[in-house]
């Protein structure tokens, strides 16, 4: 039966929610730590309604007969050049979030390209050449997005807070770890700045934009002032050489999509080791201590994002973080906006 592509309207939310709930059931078979309540279409309906109500929301559905068999739902992002993470997203961008796509089994590979063709045509008309999608890790349809020009950029990893195993059990003897205090704000700010600067290194090439400095400083200061964002420091010979800054669900800064967030989890937001102290066990010592704290605080799992091209990616994978989702990106040649032959 023929499939037609139509704009996503509020009337499509209920059948789309059923598709998303079915996809989540499939995703939980691989990653059972994900929340079970979103296997219920009533729960995923609320998520889709929130996406539809967002600024710049636009989407498309595939209809076979009278049934919605696939959808894409995204939004535009014309970001401020001074925001702390401005370097991670093109200033004229559009994004399909984790909950912004689902399809009947087998229809994703066939229909996502047709849906993306319709949706991206609108984006290109608005000059939104930075295009992003978050996909569940380990699914067959990931290759479909690769074929459409997207590449893996950032992985969300998840692992239990149980002891990190052999690699995490051998920190250098002279490394000490403690929770940061207000007196440590300068050291934390310096390491956070160096972390953002390091993202510009090969092979990551994320721009370090000078104009983000003031907002980045305020952003880190707000986290340090929040009791729900504990920060831990590692010291070697009395000098701070590493940090790990967390976000707890109790914090107003907790911003993680519910379908991707394991219940009773904590988020490792920023982690950094100074270059001269790398390979000394600093990260392992920090992680062993912070996971002990997380267990004591009642958290079963820890989440972390890492750039797939970063030098830290093997470290996080080596600690047992399993991929939950992949944030993928495509930068369309801006000449395609006007060069139509």
Domains, the chain, ranges and CATH? 3-149 (3.40.630.30), 158-324 (3.40.630.30)
The whole-number pLDDT of residue 100 equals 98
Pairing relationship of beta strands 239-247 and 265-273 according to DSSP bridges: antiparallel
Residue 312: what are its φ and ψ, rounded to 5°? -85, -15
Are residues 328 and 147 in contact, defined by beta-carbon separation less than 8 angstroms? no
**Alpha-helix residue ranges (DSSP H) falling in 278-340:** 282-296, 313-318
The whole-number pLDDT of residue 258 equals 95
Question: Residue 185: in which H helix or E strand, if any?
Answer: helix 185-198
User: Using 50, 70 and 90 to split pLDDT, how confident is the model at 141?
Assistant: confident
User: Using 50, 70 and 90 to split pLDDT, how confident is the model at 168?
Assistant: very low
Are residues 180 and 232 in contact, defined by beta-carbon separation less than 8 angstroms? yes
Which residues pair with residue 159 across a beta bridge? 302
Q: Could you tell me the pTM of the whole model?
A: 0.95
> How far, in whole angstroms, is CA 291 from its chain's centroid?
21
Residue 114: what are its φ and ψ, rounded to 5°? -70, -40
Are residues 291 and 151 in contact, defined by beta-carbon separation less than 8 angstroms? no
**What is the rounded distance in angstroms from the CA atom of residue 307 to the CA atom of residue 310?**
5
**pLDDT, greater one: 180 or 106:** 180
Please give the structure tokens belonging to residue 108.
């994703």
User: Using 50, 70 and 90 to split pLDDT, how confident is the model at 28?
Assistant: very high
Please give the structure tokens belonging to residue 284.
């392992």
């Amino acid at each position: 039966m023929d499939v037609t592509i139509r704009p996503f309207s509020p009337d499509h939310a209920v059948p789309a929610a059923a598709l998303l709930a079915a996809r989540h059931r499939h995703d939980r078979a691989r990653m059972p730590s994900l929340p079970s309540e979103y296997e219920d279409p009533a729960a995923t309906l609320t998520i889709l309604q929130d996406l539809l109500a967002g600024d710049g929301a636009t989407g498309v559905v595939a209809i076979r007969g009278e049934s919605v068999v696939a959808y894409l739902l995204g939004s535009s992002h014309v970001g401020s050049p001074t925001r702390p993470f401005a370097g991670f997203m093109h200033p004229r961008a559009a994004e399909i979030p984790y909950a912004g796509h689902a399809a009947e089994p087998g229809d994703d590979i066939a229909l996502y390209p047709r849906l993306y063709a319709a949706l991206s045509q609108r984006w290109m008309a608005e000059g939104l050449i930075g295009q992003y999608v978050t996909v569940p890790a380990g699914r067959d349809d990931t290759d479909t997005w690769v074929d459409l020009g997207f590449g893996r950029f950032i992985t969300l990893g998840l692992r239990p807070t149980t002891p990190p195993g052999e690699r995490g059990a051998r920190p250098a003897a002279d490394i000490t770890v403690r929770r940061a205090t207000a007196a440590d704000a300068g050291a934390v700010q310096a390491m956070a700045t160096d972390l953002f600067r390091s993202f510009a290194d090969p092979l990551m090439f994320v721009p370090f934009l000078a104009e983000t400095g003031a907002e980045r400083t305020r952003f880190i200061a707000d986290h340090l002032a929040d009791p729900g964002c504990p920060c831990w420091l590692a010291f070697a010979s009395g000098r701070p050489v590493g940090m790990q800054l967390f976000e707890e669900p109790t914090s107003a800064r907790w911003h993680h999509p519910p379908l991707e967030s394991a219940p009773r989890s904590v988020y490792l937001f920023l982690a950094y080791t100074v270059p001269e102290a790398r390979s000394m066990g600093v990260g392992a010592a920090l992680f062993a201590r912070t996971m002990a704290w997380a267990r004591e605080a009642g958290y079963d799992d820890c989440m972390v994002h890492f750039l797939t091209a970063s030098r830290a990616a093997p470290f996080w994978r080596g600690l047992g973080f399993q991929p939950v989702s992949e944030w993928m990106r495509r930068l369309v040649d801006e000449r395609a906006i006007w060069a139509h032959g």
